[in-house]
Chain A
Amino acid sequence: METERHQIVTRNLDFFYGDAKVLHAINMNIEALRVTAFIGPSGCGKTTFLRCLNRMNDLIKGARHAGDIHIDGKNIFDRDVDVVSLRKRVGMVFQKSNPFPKSVFDNVAYGPRVNGVTGSRDVERIVERSLNQAALWDEVKDRLHDSALGLSGGQQQRLCIARTLAVDPEIILMDEPASALDPISTAKIEDLIAELKQKYTIIIVTHNMQQAARVSDYTAFFLLGELIEMDETQKMFTNPSKKTTEDYITGRFG
């Protein structure tokens, strides 16, 4: 049942790559200021669904959809929706950190500058705030003008989160943000997620069941392009309603 708490509402969303239907009538309500985890085996459609939420799939030739996704009551597929401003509102962090080959400062300043922030003091303020929010400021404040490529993997991922935060999003999509990181960097990203959900709605795709259990409030299980089950995370990992979910999360699937 859709309520006011639901910031994202998906209705009968189908998605196709050419003739191949990869999402089947997805109906999902996502709460604001909560962390929602998508789990499921490779190829189940969770990343495709995630990328639908800020129309990243528009860039793929032959991709098309049917159905609606409403964010704050507005269908993001409507003709009058500006995709650039949609992606500003719905930011994305990828599996592999992808800093630009520029300085730490310029990586974070890039988005605000493109969006028309010109005053250097304003840009500096945004960069510092974003790096602070991403729990990276203390580690990089003395080397803001060094290349971002010199940062560690964990730092680069937090830099990408800072870059996403710099354009003031409302929703942050994370596609396996810690899968390439060591446990210490992973813990920092997870701490960050817990912090960020005070201000942002977060959706995270993860293959790590324990990570989903640790960081998320809600968990959705996808299989073969269908949403099998979605519930509060605590319920999903202690007493899922569907046997398929139970088999998957206990590792007995297949």
Chain B
Amino acid sequence: MTAKHYFDVEYEHLRNAIVTMGIEVEQHLFKAIDAHLQYNEALADTVVSYDHVIDKMEMEVDDLCVKLFAKLQPMAFDLRFLASVIKINNDFERIGDQAVSIARHSLYLIPRPRLSVDLTPMTMLAKEMVHHVIDALVNNNIYFAQDVLVMEENMDRFLMEYMGSIEAIMKQDPKNVRRGINLLFITRCLERIGDLTTNVAEDIVFYMNAKDIRHSHPEGEEKPGSAG
């Protein structure tokens, strides 16, 4: 590229919008996780009530994409970037929804005695994956994106481990079942966040390298009920 064109300003505007969306979703998720780990009811309420802001941002980014498709009729990198942003935007919004679910299940758990299950390691990984993929987006860095694909394997392992330990606690006493189910739902949300983050990473590799790597890495293969 030898000169800055008017349309580069428009693409930059879109890039800023999707990065802002990603950062907002990241904050939203961090609050949901903190609310769960700290059993902080007020913080969980904040997450639930903030969801409409994420939804509005998603619609704005989508609207911008459609306008740019019509106005700039993109080709090559621009075309791949614009098509990917539409998908990334949707995945970010769905990560936001998972954050709300974590907050809602935590709101059930918070007034009740804690079960002896600590989700901290799994939540740390979810945070790291989301943070890493936003870094990849900001820096157009496919290596960061590929790291996320590797992390997703660990997320699947966590899910299996926690399912086993929560099941054991539920078997110990029927009074544990409702709380156990809520904890299971939270682990499921974290695992879906891993899947959605993986989708974003795949889209970054696609717009950077024009390679569709979905379903081509072991951890990217379709799993029953995966976020797809």
Q: Which residues of A contact B (CB under 8 A)?
A: 209-210, 213, 237-240, 245-247, 249-254
Contact = CB atoms under 8 A, between A and B. Distances in A.
Contact of A209 (B3, B7, B75, B80): B75
B41 interface: no
A240 B73 contact: no
Contacts of B78: 250
Given A210-B73, A249-B75, A239 B3 contact: no
How large, as a class, is the contact surface on chain B?
Answer: 10 to 19
Which of B5, B7, B74, B77 neighbours the largest number of chain A CB atoms within 10 Å of its CB? B77
Looking at chain A's contact residues, is the secondary structure mostly helix, strand, loop, or mixed?
A: helix
Interface in B90-109: none
Contacts of A209: 73, 75
Contacts, number: 38
Interface of B: 1-3, 5, 7-8, 73-80, 210
A252 B6 CA distance: 10
A247 B5 CA distance: 12
A114 to B, nearest CB: 43
A238 B80 CA distance: 7
A250 B5 CA distance: 11
Given A247-B1, A251-B5, A254-B2, A238 B73 contact: no
A250 B74 contact: yes
A237 B5 contact: no
A252 B5 contact: yes
Contact of A250 (B2, B3, B75, B210): B75
Those 6 A-B pairs whose CB atoms lie nearest each other, nearest first: A239-B210, A249-B75, A252-B1, A246-B76, A237-B75, A250-B76
Contacts of A210: 73
B142 to A, nearest CB: 15
